[in-house]
Amino acid sequence: MTNDKPDTKDDFSRRDFLKMGTTLGLGASMAGVSLSACSRALQTAPGVPVVKPMETVRVGMVGVGNQGSGHIQSLLRIAGVELRAICDTVTEKVTQMQSLAVEAGKAKPTGYSRGEYDFKRMCAEEELDLVVTATPWEWHVPICVEAMKTGSHAATEVPAAVTVDECWELVETAEKYNKHCVMLENVCYMRPEMMILNMVRKNLLGELLHAEGAYNHDLRHWKLGGLYEKEWRVYHSINRNGNLYPTHGLGPIAQCMNINRGDRFDYLVSMSSPSRGLQEYARKTLGPDHQFSKANYKLGDVNTSLIQTANGKTIYLVHDTNLPRPYSRINLIQGTKGITQGFSDMTHRNLIHIEGITEAHKWEPLENHAEEFEHPFIKAHQAKSTGAGHGGADYLELARLIYCLRKGLPTDMDVYDAVDWTVVSGLTEESVANRSRPVDFPDFTRGLWKTRKPLGIIEVNQA
């Protein structure tokens, strides 16, 4: 399998052939599966993996550091999960998570810690339905691909990939092996974003025309404070220049705007400011002779990008992680009837204006509309997520994924969403390196975006 971009007729023909082979395989895999007429139509829609329901989801977890250890705690609380295996390069971390499982009254998962590629042994030896990875970014694609090739569905932390070629590899592998490949974008399960999606679906904001999102987060201490194994994250700032982490701000926007489901990202332009923040922070905290104080950081402190969709909608996207600042995702959605703008919680900082409802030229708190427009999924399941990471969203995203696998349903976010939201990184790097020239998005769906149905509202019992 090649990772080349689809720049030639031969590439397109090969991908079309893979898609044909996948479709033929899907029909065979449906034998003996009983679905309602509605579910059957949804399941056999182009681009949707057809999988049988499963009573228990057998999970292998790769990477149990900062985020992965939280996922273990969530998985141990979700009904229908059997945690079969845990893999990490650090044996002590594996042992800790095994003990956590036993303390929760579960069977002890098998441990794998014989180096960076031991996930391959795990996939070969264990009977798994789902492999979840929360490793450094460069390992996301190798682990997901290995999982799908050996018969498992895959779920990865953000971003799903690093390069454009890796994005194509995920798509081709998921299609070839008829597997789900889901990016765990937890912001899509946060309370403000879910409430806004509910309001959008009820047409409260009218036709959406513009959106703004960001990952504005002071990560200097995280990148340079030894909080990542072998300081892996800072090397992306040393070697790359673009929007390296676009999905938190972009994912909820894409869902509201029906990206891959009636519209698609068409092209972008991107530019970066000079790089100053990490150098100054390193010199101040680590001393002038430290390797990170002497490093040359390619990543501009603030990257600004503009995206236009095939239907002419516009998106403003920012990446700002190397300067002192409060956290913000901007979270602006603007339509013909109203606009929202906010931060990361449901305080007065999340604002909305709806023509005919809100006082003219005034903002009001989004919370004012919670009684009427709170997302039903949040209403029903927020209590279960108490104590989980990122305000409970880490639990909710996994609980919803497990539910879909157990019921044989399409997942809320699929491989096309994973790569479309992620590929921004590689495309912005290309644009920045070429004086902000426009760069086209690949059409990973190969035209299916025109007929795929928008994401609906999760019902109360769907988790």
- Residue after which a domain boundary falls, among 185, 218, 246: 185
167 shares its domain with 211: no
State yes or no: pLDDT of 160 exceeds 80: yes
Position 386 confidence tier, pLDDT thresholds 50, 70, 90: confident
% of the chain exceeding 70 in pLDDT = 88
114 shares its domain with 210: no
456 part of a folded domain: no
154 shares its domain with 263: no
Task: Indicate the number of domains in the chain.
Answer: 2
Position 348 confidence tier, pLDDT thresholds 50, 70, 90: low
State yes or no: pLDDT of 365 exceeds 90: yes
264 shares its domain with 142: no
CATH number, position 226: 3.30.360.10
315 part of a folded domain: yes
Q: Mean pLDDT over all residues of the chain?
A: 90
**pLDDT tens digits for 310-331?**
999 999 999 999 999 999 999 9
C-alpha span between 427 and 412 (Å, rounded): 25
**pLDDT tens digits for 97-118?**
999 999 999 999 999 999 999 9
Q: Work out the average pLDDT over 347-360.
A: 89
Q: Work out the average pLDDT over 275-282.
A: 98
CB 416 within 8 A of CB 444: yes
State yes or no: pLDDT of 93 exceeds 60: yes
47 shares its domain with 90: yes
- Continuous H helices in 287-392: 291-294, 370-373, 376-381
3-class SS of residue 351: strand
The torsion region of residue 107 among left (phi > 0), alpha (psi -120 to 50) and beta comes to: beta
147 shares its domain with 120: yes
Nearest 10 degrees: Cα torsion 118, 165, 1, 233: -10
Lowest mean pLDDT among 22-31, 129-138, 179-188: 22-31
- What do you get for the CA distance between the two ends of the chain, in Å? 36
372 part of a folded domain: yes
Q: Work out the average pLDDT over 354-379.
A: 95
179 shares its domain with 242: no
CATH number, position 38: 3.40.50.720
State yes or no: pLDDT of 27 exceeds 80: no
235 shares its domain with 153: no
- Residue after which a domain boundary falls, among 169, 185, 201: 185
Give the total residue count for the chain.
Answer: 463
Buried b (16+ CB within 10 A) or exposed e, 130-152: bbbbbbbbebbbbbbbbbbbbeb
Position 343 confidence tier, pLDDT thresholds 50, 70, 90: confident
State yes or no: pLDDT of 458 exceeds 90: no
Q: What is the pLDDT of residue 48?
A: 76
170 shares its domain with 196: no
C-alpha span between 436 and 179 (Å, rounded): 36
432 part of a folded domain: yes
435 part of a folded domain: yes
92 shares its domain with 218: no
82 shares its domain with 223: no
91 part of a folded domain: yes
Lowest mean pLDDT among 126-130, 183-187, 343-347, 415-419: 343-347
Provide the whole-model pTM: 0.89
Q: Work out the average pLDDT over 425-430.
A: 98
118 part of a folded domain: yes
Q: What is the pLDDT of residue 344?
A: 61
95 part of a folded domain: yes
State yes or no: pLDDT of 412 exceeds 80: yes
Q: What is the pLDDT of residue 49?
A: 87
192 shares its domain with 181: no
State yes or no: pLDDT of 5 exceeds 60: no
Position 264 confidence tier, pLDDT thresholds 50, 70, 90: very high
State yes or no: pLDDT of 2 exceeds 50: no
Position 11 confidence tier, pLDDT thresholds 50, 70, 90: very low
State yes or no: pLDDT of 336 exceeds 70: yes
Query: Which has more confidence, 3 or 318?
Result: 318
Q: What is the pLDDT of residue 320?
A: 98
**Residue span of the structural domain in which 161 resides:** 9-185
Q: What is the pLDDT of residue 354?
A: 98
Determine the Cα angle at 353 with ends 347 and 355, to 5°.
155
- Residue after which a domain boundary falls, among 161, 185, 209: 185
